[in-house]
Amino acid sequence: MPLRKISLREFQGRPLRSVLTLLSIVIGVSAIVATSLATNSAKLAQIAMVQSVTGKSALEVEGIGGASFDGKPLEFLASTPGVQVASPVLRRYSNMQVVQDGEPAEQQPSVSRPTSFRVQLLGVIPDLDRKVRGYSIVEGRELTYESEDRESVLMDAGFAASARIKVGSTIKLLTRSFGQKATVVGLIKASDASAGLQSGMVVAQLRTVQKWSRANGELDAVQLVLNQEAKVNDVKERIAAALPEGVKVREPALRSQVAGESTIAMQQGLRLATMFALLISAFIIYNTFQMNVGERRRQLGILRSLGALRGQLLWMIVREGLWLGVIGTIIGCIVGNLGATLLNQSTSKLLQISIPPSPWTIWPYLIAATCGMIVAFLGAFFPAMRASRLSPSEAMRVVATGEFGTSRLGWLIFGTFTITIGLIVQIASVGGWINTNHAITGAITMMIGIVFLLPGVISDLSAGVAWLLSPILRIEGRLARKQILRHRGRSALTIGIIFIAMSTGLGMASTILDNIGNVESWYKRAIIGDFFIRAAMPDMNSGQAADMPDGLDEQVKAMPGVDVVDTMRFVRARSGDNSVVVVVRKFNATGQDYFDLIEGDEKSVLEGIKRGDVVLGSVLSQRLNLHVDDKIPLETNEGATELRIAGVTNEYIAGGLTLYLESENAKRLLKVSGTDVIVVRSQKDAVASLEKDLRKLCDESGLMFQSYADLVQIIRDTLNGVVGGLWAVLILGTIIAAFGLINTLAMNIIEQTREIGMLRVVAMTRGQVRKMILAQALIMGIIGIVPGVFAGIWISYLINMTTMQVTGHDVEFKLYPWLLAGGLVLELVVIVIAAMIPAERAARINVSSALQYE
């Protein structure tokens, strides 16, 4: 019979084990595909935000720090040698309402769709803009520069469809000049990545947007398209020499620095999850094939006796692994694609943004397929190589003499060496001698070393656990330990899977809880006020937000029941090579802790900020290595300036690349005008009446109104989503560990068939058989779970330590007894449930058949 047919019969005869091996490959491959696609989508979303403005431009003129500037002195750009097109741009964010039949959206009977939308309002010169940005008219007509089009706009077709807006619809845009009505004359479709905008795009004439936003003569950028023969560097140098102070020329960036930081953080998180998935998958595959080969020892011995060569047996088993690898890779790619879609959708809902799908490329699938096939090959190769070396007489034995050729001392030495290497890498990373990203690599190396150490210490550990459980397990516990030690390697790998699942799951969960606590501590200090009024949620990556009407804060301040009115404005600036977001506030409330300070005390910090000093976000402080009493260089329209640092605060806005500045000083230094958020504190006896009045004002003006409870609930909902995610990680880890345990117990039962039959003959009851199998599960589970709890605590502490190197502030490390106890109990419950199936199978073994089993 051809060996290929024998392999097919093995798959058909043991479908559960084949499915388990297949599943482990699918997990690893899908993790890689989902990680790559989700990361590419995130990058595309960030790139699209800038490409929507930069278009085909080779160079771009902008204000230093991203501030607006006077466009009059830049008229020379159009006539500069080498410049084909110089297209000015003014970009503002706005809150949009749809007007139908003369009524605003909130007064219409239909409530099946949102009444307002956050949009990106782009002011351009139409004839020039068409030569820069890639889009086409899909319905309606082009926007002209004639006077009749001053109140007309173009709109992104995809956004218009979701908002149910058609050509001819009237929209109302909230601007600094209050509500402005405009008519949609055309729908456009981007021909580049700008189709993935994070907010709907509305294009209008430049002078119209300038008028609405009270930015007469101001620009955000001038996009330059060069002649084909022009050299970019030559043109850049020529323009830079003629630019006025406060303006610079550069090549368009593909993404802002803050956006890049966000993408990198997501990449690291996804890669970490992928590494754990691959690590556990590799252990399961190896363990499965090791058991598969062990179960077929007699078959392999017969084949060797019949003349099968060692190489033929080796190739037969490896080929089985490769077959499963191919099938698992195909399924994994499909599952990974679906997983990336779900991940993007979840992220989109969580952050309220649109994330475009990643364009098709073969590389994520090729990398995933390569990793999947390598894991499948290695998982099958080593057990196959060992099986092929057995002599026919040795292979014919029912029970193996041993699974590893290496001595107990060898495993102790190798495991200890690997653990030591992992610890050295972690210490060097935390100490700053090597890149902090290597700390996780060191932790994974340490965990692998612990798994390698297990075969050398499993006898002592199992003896200790069996002794502790002896009042419960009794004789069944001793029999269970005997079977565990009969196959040290298999048992050690199973314990290793349980250990890795427990340690990584608890470590990640504990770290997330620590960071959630840190966020809660931050927002309880930074977000102080009874009510908040805004046009739309600000874009924390760029600092841009929808304009609010001028004078609205004074209107709110005059309302009865108001105690204090503070304002916030988010402004882009630059410090050296770092893009930063300046948070401008009045800081006019008494007795309020504005900051979660890391350096400085509240009193001196507030005194300093009134003088014109700044408070740095912790990440920016760490990045620039600047602290209290140092001076931070800041580039503005007024040129370069240095500001004294009064304090450093824990901060999450714009990824911590922020600095706080008092509003009057911001007007002087940055020419800041306008408001993004109005923070209202109510008098104690007027909360209900003031809330009613403010809601009415916001409804009339198309503004967003939030109470402190509403805002906290939004944050809590987001955090609850994260907590749900960490429980999913724990559950996934326990399920994976359960699969490995079921395999091991099933294999043990097969090898114990004759022994179980003899025990049944000498009066062992079925209940005692079940208890013996459950005892095996408990002993292996406890050996893996208890060290896994301590390793999880260490991993959490390590991640918090490395966070300091990136964020500039300590994330307080806490022990969560409920989490540790809950994780331990959950894992034990899953292990017991997983053991019930093989235990019941063992209890129902036919005695006469068992005695004849060989």
pLDDT the model gives residue 147: 62
Region 246-258 average pLDDT: 62
How far apart, in whole angstroms, are the C-alpha atoms of residue 596 and residue 619?
Answer: 13
Weakest mean pLDDT among 205-209, 567-571, 628-632: 567-571
pLDDT the model gives residue 318: 83
Answer yes or no: is pLDDT of 421 > 70.
yes
How far apart, in whole angstroms, are the C-alpha atoms of residue 756 and residue 442?
Answer: 44
Six token digits for residue 253:
């960036």
Region 36-65 average pLDDT: 64
DSSP 494-553: HHHHHHHHHHHHHHHHHHHHHHHHHHHHHHHHH---SEEEESS---TTT---B---TTHH
- Cα of first residue to Cα of last residue in the chain, in angstroms, is 23
Which of residues 102 and 689 earns the better pLDDT score? 689
Region 239-247 average pLDDT: 86
What's the burial of 742, exposed, middle or buried (CB within 10 Å: 0-12/13-18/19+)? buried
Which of residues 407 and 770 earns the better pLDDT score? 770
Answer yes or no: is pLDDT of 246 > 80.
no
3-state secondary structure of 586: coil
Region 475-492 average pLDDT: 79
639: confidence class by pLDDT, cuts 50, 70, 90: low
585: confidence class by pLDDT, cuts 50, 70, 90: confident
CA distances from 377 to 309, 316, 319, 325, 700 (A): 20, 12, 8, 8, 67
Weakest mean pLDDT among 379-388, 562-571, 579-588, 843-852: 843-852
pLDDT the model gives residue 100: 58
What are the pLDDT digits (tens) for 751-779? 666 677 777 777 777 787 888 888 888 88
What are the pLDDT digits (tens) for 500-549? 778 877 777 777 777 777 667 666 666 667 888 876 555 544 445 566 77
pLDDT the model gives residue 110: 40
Share of the chain above pLDDT 70, in %: 70
3-state secondary structure of 465: helix
**CB-based contacts of 662, cutoff 8 Å, min separation 6:** 584, 585, 586, 587, 609, 610, 612
Answer yes or no: is pLDDT of 498 > 70.
yes
Answer yes or no: is pLDDT of 569 > 80.
yes
Region 239-263 average pLDDT: 66
What are the pLDDT digits (tens) for 646-703? 998 877 666 677 888 888 888 877 777 778 788 888 888 888 888 888 888 887 776 7
pLDDT the model gives residue 361: 77
The long-range contacts involving 556-562, CB below 8 angstroms and separated by at least 24 positions, are 556/678, 556/680, 556/694, 556/697, 559/690, 559/693, 559/694, 559/697, 560/686, 560/689, 560/690, 560/693, 561/682, 561/683, 561/686, 561/687, 561/689, 561/690, 561/693, 562/680, 562/681, 562/682, 562/683, 562/690
* Averaged pLDDT score across all residues of the chain: 75
Which of residues 337 and 107 earns the better pLDDT score? 337
Identify the CA nearest to 285 among candidates 237, 240, 317.
Answer: 317
pLDDT the model gives residue 88: 92
pLDDT the model gives residue 258: 41
Phi, psi of 159 (to 5 degrees): -65, -40
